[in-house]
Amino acid sequence: MKHNQRRNFVKKTMMAASAGMVLPHISLGKEKDNKADKNKIVGHGNFQYKVNKEWGIQDPAKVPINDCHEMVMDDSGRLILTVSGEHNANILIYDKSGKVLSSWGDSFPGAHGLTIAGEGSDQFLLITDPEVHKVFKTTLDGKIIQTFSAPKEFEGYQDANLFKPTETAVAPNGDLYIADGYGENYITQYNSKGEFIRYFGGKGITDETFDCCHGITVDLRNPNTPTLLITSRGKQEFKRFTMDGKYIETVKLPGCSICRPVIHGENIYFAVIVTKDWWKYDGMVAVLDKNNKVVSLPGGSEPNYKNGILESPMYDGSTFLNPHDVCIDNDENIYVPQWFSGKTYPIKLTKV
């Protein structure tokens, strides 16, 4: 969903609620105490998980949230979450038990994409905020090191407000890639000093262009030939590019509106934020093997291919409320932040 469409979705939902229309059940910070739900197993094959909807729950009076977006894990095992909103901290720091250790940031009201790079004490974050049209490079405790706005090196941005970045990725050599998923759909590449290198992509339906380049990551599974995986969410696919922006291939995933690919081991994981209808709570998690075949859909129907094409999956109707990202820990557990889910805190899927 493009940025302005998301705004309209929220606005219409609020109007529907005030008009007395029945909306899907949601809870503000705490799920219903349901024994069956606590013991629910989701997923398929070697990727099955026990659902824990209580993992991240906090006291909303002490740790208020709005929409949760993305999560990463630092070298010490802390889980870092972006949360949009003007009246809450935009960054929450969890431990693996689900306790919030600290929070910071009130300068990122549209806090969206979150990338971590570097090692040890040199780790840093990249936070995208399409609301303020910027990308922020920060320390792990919130000091802003560098800020990126609409690039001036090419003519794609006559108005700086057209720049609405959703995600970033960092190459092994330190190059930074910014995906403008809610804006003009360009990918802009900078070196480690923040100096412009090139751009590619843009809005369109060709192999080289995107319909909402919502997510981007560097695929290092072949260490000799790293590549970029970039979402084209409106087309329910992701595309592979060389590190200098040359198109390689498209992986089509019918019925799956992909947020961002996340690499763990030899697998690709991502949140499917919606399958059919933005007006109904929806979504699941997808796990792909090294050949880009879906092998598990936690929160959805068993993956099935017909004539080599994935059949559109079905939401199970209860596990997720618009999942937006996945973070995988060293035990292969998955943490799932959710967008527009009634202010719910992240869910944990424990590997079984």
Q: pLDDT tens for residues 182-224?
A: 999 999 999 999 999 999 999 999 999 999 999 999 999 998 9
Q: Report how many domains make up the chain.
A: 1
76 found inside a domain: yes
d(CA 177, CA 188): 6
What domain range includes position 192? 26-351
Question: What radius of gyration, in Å, describes the C-alpha atoms of the chain?
Answer: 19
14 found inside a domain: no
Q: Which residue has the higher pLDDT, 271 or 34?
A: 271
pLDDT tens-digit series, residues 218-230: 999 998 999 999 9
38 found inside a domain: yes
Amino acid making up residue 57: I
- What per-residue confidence (pLDDT) applies to 277? 84
1 found inside a domain: no
Q: In this model, does residue 344 exceed pLDDT 70?
A: yes
9 found inside a domain: no
Residue 139: half-sphere exposure toward Cβ, Cα within 13 Å:
6
189 found inside a domain: yes
C-alpha distances in Å from residue 264, one per residue of 63, 302, 324, 327, 328: 30, 21, 17, 9, 7
What's 293's domain CATH number?
A: 2.120.10.30
d(CA 341, CA 29): 10
267 found inside a domain: yes
- Decide if 327 contacts 73 (C-beta within 8 A): yes
Q: In this model, does residue 281 exceed pLDDT 50?
A: yes
Q: Which residue has the tokens 């198109």?
A: 247
3 found inside a domain: no
pLDDT over 70 percentage in the chain = 89
Poorest-pLDDT segment among 23-32, 53-62, 128-137, 232-241: 23-32
pTM above 0.85, yes or no: yes
